[in-house]
Amino acid sequence: MPHTSDHPSTSARRRRTPDERREEIVEAATAVVAEVGYANATLTEITRRAGVSKGLLWHYFSDRDEVMQHAVGHLAGRLRAALVSDVDVSAPVPDVVRAVFARTALFTRTHRQELRALDEIVHNLRTSEGRRRVTLLDYEDVYADHVALLGRGQRDGTIRAGDLRTFAVGYQALIDGMIAHLQAHPDADPLTYADGVAELFLHGAASR
């Protein structure tokens, strides 16, 4: 057993694998960005937060942009996975819609920091020419999911006729708006709010 030390206590823990280190740094970046904003999120502060010397960051990432890009990937992956794993997409469409709103609303209470950081980074990550690196165009696959879901609803009669893309974009807009609103109002009850918005959308998109 070549383990150096097994107690996972204070400072003398076992050496991390490269992936663990990368993740530690990326998570520190997330935390710092969420707290002070993208522009003020210093690499020095990020390494400090990760409990790591400054130079090490460049052993794992080539520049600030790369750190942030990894952070986006990490965050988006975690959020999406948690959502998908928790909603039964084969249920009746209105139920799925309600569940998505509800789950997303709860997310704002359990993943406040991550959502803040994600928003922050997405809004600020740029290419070297100054254009946004992540745009709404990257929503396309999300829209595709929505279109598929709502299309099924149209076929089984739970969603009224109408342009699916408009529905999908409206659906996503309500989700994003709900997230922003709940983030800004930490005291609001997420579930009652989610219900309200879900009903608004379903009344708008449902047959009858």
Partner DNA sequence: GAAGATGTTGACCGCATGGTCAATAGTGGG
Partner DNA sequence: CCCACTATTGACCATGCGGTCAACATCTTC
Query: Judged by CB under 8 A, does residue 3 bind a copy of itself?
Result: no
**Contact positions with a copy of itself (CB under 8 A) in 74-133:** 119-120, 123-124, 126, 130, 132
Residues in the interface with a copy of itself (CB under 8 A) total: 44
Backbone angles phi, psi at 159, to 5 degrees: -115, 135
**How many Cα atoms are found within 13 Å in the side-chain-facing hemisphere of 24?**
17
What long-range pairs does 190-193 form, CB within 8 A, spacing at least 24?
190/102, 190/105, 190/106, 190/108, 190/109, 191/102, 191/105, 191/106, 193/105
Work out which of 6, 29, 59, 141 binds DNA, going by CB under 7 A.
59
Identify what 64 binds: a copy of itself, DNA, none; CB under 5 to 8 Å per kind. DNA
CA pair distance 202, 51, nearest whole angstrom: 48
Residue 81, exposed/middle/buried by CB under 10 A (0-12, 13-18, 19+)? exposed
Query: Judged by CB under 7 A, does residue 44 bind DNA?
Result: yes
Work out which of 98, 102, 178, 190 binds a copy of itself, going by CB under 8 A.
178
Work out which of 9, 44, 90, 135 binds a copy of itself, going by CB under 8 A.
135
Residue 80 structure tokens: 């999406």
Query: Judged by CB under 8 A, does residue 162 bind a copy of itself?
Result: yes
Work out which of 8, 37, 53, 155 binds DNA, going by CB under 7 A.
53
Place of tokens 């991390």: 16
Work out which of 66, 156, 176, 189 binds a copy of itself, going by CB under 8 A.
176
Query: Judged by CB under 7 A, does residue 58 bind DNA?
Result: yes
Work out which of 21, 22, 23, 37 binds a copy of itself, going by CB under 8 A.
37
Work out which of 77, 157, 186, 204 binds a copy of itself, going by CB under 8 A.
204
Q: How far apart are the first and last CA of the chain?
A: 68
CA pair distance 10, 4, nearest whole angstrom: 14
Please say whether the beta carbons of 42 and 67 come within 8 A. Answer: no
CA pair distance 29, 61, nearest whole angstrom: 12
Query: Judged by CB under 8 A, does residue 170 bind a copy of itself?
Result: yes
Query: Judged by CB under 7 A, does residue 130 bind DNA?
Result: no
Q: Could you tell me which stretch among 35-43, 54-62, 82-90, 93-101 binds a copy of itself (CB under 8 A)?
A: 35-43
Query: Judged by CB under 7 A, does residue 52 bind DNA?
Result: yes
Please report, as a single letter, which amino acid is at residue 36: V
